[in-house]
Amino acid sequence: MKKILITGGAGFIGSHVVRLFANKYPDYLITNLDALTYAGNLENLKDVELLSNYKFVKGDITDESFIDNFFAENDFDAVIHLAAESHVDRSILDPMSFVKTNVLGTGILLNAAKKNWDDKSNKLFYHVSTDEVYGSLGETGFFTEETPYDPRSPYSASKAASDHLVMAYHHTYDLPVVISNCSNNYGSHHFPEKLLPLMINNIIHSKPLPVYGKGENVRDWLWVEDHAKAIDVIFHKGVHGEKYNVGGFNEWKNIDIVHLLCKMMDRKLNRVDGESAKLITYVKDRAGHDMRYAIDATKLQRELGWKPSLQFEEGLEKTIDWYLANKDWVSRITSGSYQQYYEQQYSKR
């Protein structure tokens, strides 16, 4: 049985990756390692926790002694590394926690793999990163795998540093690695501080919809389930030492997304068209706010055969429907009581 360690598997993207791998590959033993900080939620994985090929371990990737013993005891064949601090606003307020988790934590994982993988054949360290490492684009052009790094926030700088560490271990120690850099993800189980779940929840409760600056910043949007499928493809087919950009080919201005979201929500909530748009409130722009991200995922499509399955409007419809059907989940997340709730439910099983 192939032993796969997925770090950060209780988070937004991680939970979708765990779900896909645990269900699709019954001959893989999937170990989910997560520290269960504010964005890690075991409730995201209720549907897979009883599978015989899945187990959860609570642990911190910055605890070197724990990680060394963990690797030695489990003899992992591969790592899919998603554990990270990931919110730009939080990185501006507390940059050192991002340095600790994203840089030191990645280094500790790499070192553990190096020490325990004497035979590197059939081993893989897969590092999942972000398009934000490339900096900001003008009105034209796309990020490719050859775009120079130019991070602008403590978050993106910490992810850039971790990317460089991964490649350094590949070149210095011949560690088998791949890296993917993705655009903005959206979909179910997204922590409600991010743009789309925040706006959906605020519209439901008729709260203000805060938009940075004029809302003209552009992002490329990737449905999280398409991202999980891309990770699956890269994990199994990616060339060691290579980077792959993952994007949805869906560029939208933030303000246009919010208006579209308001229109969809008015229809689904049986409100008068335009009612939710009245909640839009422009706030002071974020420090160092990158103007535009756009991913060129041609390499991934051409070499490995992946392409996104959904256009943004269809994915947004599915995302809204999930949040409307799971208001209790959102309520527990926003109140901060979700871990206590889950532990109570879990103890009854």
232 is catalytic: no
Query: Catalytic residue at 131?
Result: yes
Return the SS3 of 78.
Answer: strand
Query: Rounded to whole angstroms, how far apart are CA atoms 190 and 63?
Result: 26
DSSP H/E element including 243: strand 243-246
Q: What is the CA radius of gyration of the chain?
A: 20
* DSSP three-state, residue 340: helix
What are the b/e assignments for 159-177, b being 16+ CB within 10 Å?
bbbbbebbbebbeeeebbb
Catalytic residue among 54, 155, 244, 293: 155
Query: In terms of C-beta density within 10 A (0-12 exposed, 13-18 middle, 19 or more buried), how is residue 144 classed?
Result: middle
Question: For strand 54-58 and strand 28-34, is the pairing parallel, antiparallel, or unpaired?
Answer: parallel
3-state secondary structure at position 124: strand
State residue 60 phi and psi, 5-degree precision: -110, 125
Residue 51 and residue 23 in contact, taking contact as beta carbons nearer than 8 Å: yes
| The residue to which tokens 């499509």 are assigned | 301
Q: Are 169 and 106 in contact (CB under 8 A)?
A: no
Cβ contact 42:342 at 8 Å: yes
Q: How far, in Å, CA of 165 to CA of 148, rounded?
A: 16
> Torsion-angle region of residue 66: left (phi > 0), alpha (psi -120 to 50) or beta?
alpha
* Cβ proximity of 54 and 30 under 8 Å: yes
Sequence letter at residue 18: V
338 annotated active-site:
no
Q: Among 43, 85, 132, 163, which one carries the catalytic annotation?
A: 132
Which residue among 34, 85, 131, 220 is the active-site one?
131
What is the end-to-end Cα distance of the chain in Å, rounded? 27
- Residues involved in catalysis: 131-132, 155
